[in-house]
Amino acid sequence: MKYKIALLQSEEGFSVSVPGLPGCWSQGETEEEALENIQDAIREYLAVRDELIKGEIIREIEIHT
Per-residue pLDDT reduced to its tens digit, 4-63: 999 999 999 999 999 999 999 999 999 999 999 999 999 999 999 999 999 999 999 999
3-class SS of residue 16:
strand
Burial of 30 (0-12, 13-18, 19+ CB in 10 A): exposed
- CATH for 6-52 is 3.30.160.250
What are the boundaries of each domain within the chain?
6-52
| pLDDT of amino acid 63 | 95
Q: Model's pTM, two decimal places?
A: 0.82
Q: What is the DSSP string of 26-55?
A: EEESSHHHHHHHHHHHHHHHHHHHHHHTTT
12: β partners: none
